[in-house]
Structure 1
Amino acid sequence: MKIPLTGYGLRELILFPTLLLAAGIVSWFAWSAGRPWCQIAAAILGLGVLAFFRDPPRQVLNDQDVLLAPADGIITDICEVEEPEFIKGSARRIGIFLSVLDVHINRTPCDGVVEYIRAHPGKCYNALRTRLASEKNKANCVGLHCPDHPAGMVMVKQITGVIARRIVCRCKPGDMLSAGERFGMIKFGSRTELFLPEDGRAQIMVKKGDKVRAGTTILVHYGSTKSQNGPLTTNPEVKTKVMQNRG
């Protein structure tokens, strides 16, 4: 079975055969010494590295009235905050925790032009400690200008965790990105946040604890569907067209 792997992990994947060879030598000696569990540990390590850098194809939802999840993981928080960096005002923040078992590719929540990128130095607190991780951890912010989308602008914040120490961001100011397009990743467990202007029109379609998938799960709808985060207006069903994976 072929495992699709991301090019964002090229450095680690190049080093992987060397590490695997070293692990194999250690395992051989361990087996000779009557310690077969070392071989099992080496096999698990090897499979873990491959699994972490997997990049499965996605059927990206194509709908100009929605914002898609920028990462795989679990919704940990949905709250109103002041966002002074790019949105420069009241914003809704949706936080996603990525475990080491999740796909770690970041995808664009909607069509837009990269208008802002800024890397922030910081700590590496546990990404499940929402406030500390959001405010203190090393992070990278990507601001998108979205002239054809009801949101107008959104920001994705890539945040490190205890294990995750390296953020990959392959876009640059001026790049035009499509909804669901890959633009980077955070290596080995992390947090991703989506910020959107708090203007009363956004309908949050997820709740805390929900499992989401980048490029396919709808986080926000700008229409008239009932939100899971409180009462909203009218009713039409959110409809999406399915298109081939972008990026």
Structure 2
Amino acid sequence: MAGEILDNRGRGDASWNWPSIHPEGRKFGIIALAISLFFLLIMDWEIVGWPLLGLTAFVFAFFRDPERVVPQGDDVIVAPADGLVSLIAQVEPPRELVGDDGLGSAGLTPLPVTRVSIFMSVFDVHINRAPISGTVKRLIYMPGKFMNADLDKASEENERQHILIERHDGLLIGFTQIAGLVARRIVPFVKPGDILAAGQRVGLIRFGSRVDVYLPTGTDSAVLLGQKVVAGETVLARIGTQKLIEGVAQ
């Protein structure tokens, strides 16, 4: 299915498949499996082996990497992460993404923009994806704390990684991968200079975390606070569209 065109008139071929396990997680799953089999088959300690076998299944599930059908369109910004929209606020972008980088590459303006925060629980897919197509202009890692990623101040105090993507027409989108209470490592799949397609995999955060997206000036969120979004599939915003959207929790 990867790379295949599908549309709303039935073009393409879709079928359900077991999601693959990302290579980054296979080693953890194999280690957990080996330990659980050791206790089950060698030590005959079922009281330890069976829970460890359950943990093995969880590890493999955590690193699942399903295919996604990415909406296409010049005005579309897709969600970079699976999870819950936990915060929507008007804020100034991180200083690491603002202004010239010293090498002649422009960054975001320091004016307040809409920030959409997506909280990923340990049960969500943790592969993060590019919100737009373009070139990676900055990738900046920042050490920090490991507070609850659901807190607003996690954007400035937690361990995090900023990514800035420039579209072919010069439009810039910045987003930040933020570690949380359990997360202890942010793993990038890209580097500055890489050319990405919208929805392309850019990295992962191990075991629960958050992603902040800084929308362009004049663009409001197309998702609601409390909504569940899907990386690479949910339309997070449409560039240049400002519209109040309301929903009812029920």
TM-score by length of 1: 0.81
1:23 & 1:48 partners in 2: Cα distance? 18
Contact 2:136 2:165 in 1 (8 A): yes
Correspondence 1:5 to 2:16: no
Return the letter of the residue paired with 1:168. Answer: V
Find the counterpart in structure 2 of residue 241 from structure 1. none
Correspondence 1:69 to 2:79: yes
Contact 2:32 2:55 in 1 (8 A): no
Find the counterpart in structure 2 of residue 235 from structure 1. none
| 1:97–1:54 Cα change, 3 Å | same
1:53 & 1:23 partners in 2: Cα distance? 24
RMSD: 2.2
| 1:23–1:56 Cα change, 3 Å | farther
Which 4+ runs in 1 deviate beyond 6 A?
A: none
What is the Cα deviation at residue 20 of structure 1? 3.1
SS of alignment partner, residue 59 of structure 1: coil
Find the counterpart in structure 2 of residue 54 from structure 1. 64
Correspondence 1:85 to 2:96: yes
Correspondence 1:94 to 2:116: yes
What is the Cα deviation at residue 41 of structure 1? 1.7
What is the Cα deviation at residue 156 of structure 1? 1.6
Correspondence 1:213 to 2:230: yes
Correspondence 1:16 to 2:32: yes
What pairs with 1:13-162 in structure 2 (closer than 5 Å)? Answer: 13-25=29-41, 28-30=44-46, 35=47, 38-83=48-93, 84-86=95-97, 87-90=108-111, 91-131=113-153, 133-148=154-169, 152-162=171-181
SS of alignment partner, residue 165 of structure 2: strand
What is the Cα deviation at residue 114 of structure 1? 0.3
What is the Cα deviation at residue 9 of structure 1? 2.2
2:155 & 2:40 partners in 1: Cα distance? 40
SS of alignment partner, residue 45 of structure 1: helix
Considering fraction of residues, name the structure with more strand.
Answer: 1
1:65 & 1:27 partners in 2: Cα distance? 59
What is the Cα deviation at residue 217 of structure 1? 0.3
Q: Which runs of 5+ in 2 are unaligned?
A: 1-16, 98-107
| 1:160–1:23 Cα change, 3 Å | farther
SS of alignment partner, residue 180 of structure 2: coil
| 1:196–1:203 Cα change, 3 Å | closer
Instruction: Report how many aligned residue pairs link the two structures.
Output: 219
2:176 & 2:241 partners in 1: Cα distance? 27
Q: Which runs of 5+ in 1 are unaligned?
A: 231-247
Mean Cα deviation higher: 155-164 or 216-225? 216-225
Find the counterpart in structure 2 of residue 188 from structure 1. 207
Deviations 1:43-71 (A, max 9, x none): 32111001000001111111220110000
Identity %: 38
SS of alignment partner, residue 94 of structure 1: strand
1:25 & 1:192 partners in 2: Cα distance? 41
Find the counterpart in structure 2 of residue 222 from structure 1. 239
SS of alignment partner, residue 31 of structure 2: helix
Deviations 1:122-169 (A, max 9, x none): 0111112222x11110001111111347xx101120110111101011
2:80 & 2:187 partners in 1: Cα distance? 14
Contact 1:8 1:185 in 2 (8 A): no
| 1:95–1:169 Cα change, 3 Å | same
1:20 & 1:3 partners in 2: Cα distance? 23
TM-score by length of 2: 0.80
2:54 & 2:26 partners in 1: Cα distance? 20
